[in-house]
Amino acid sequence: MDTVKFAAYMKSFEESVIIKGFESGIFDKKGMVPYKKGKLHNTDYGKAIGIWFAYDKSLAVDYYGLVKKSDGLCHEFDSLVKKGIHVTSMKSPLVFFASVKIETVQELCSDLVADFPAFKAHLIQLRGFKKQKSKQGFVPPNQASIN
pLDDT tens string 33-80: 999 988 999 999 999 999 999 999 999 999 999 999 999 999 999 999
What is the pLDDT, as a whole number, of residue 113?
95
Strand pairing category for 60-63 and 133-134: unpaired
Interatomic CA distance for residues 10 and 49, integer angstroms:
8
What are the residue boundaries of the structural domains of the chain, listed by start?
A: 3-143
For the whole model, what pTM was predicted?
0.83
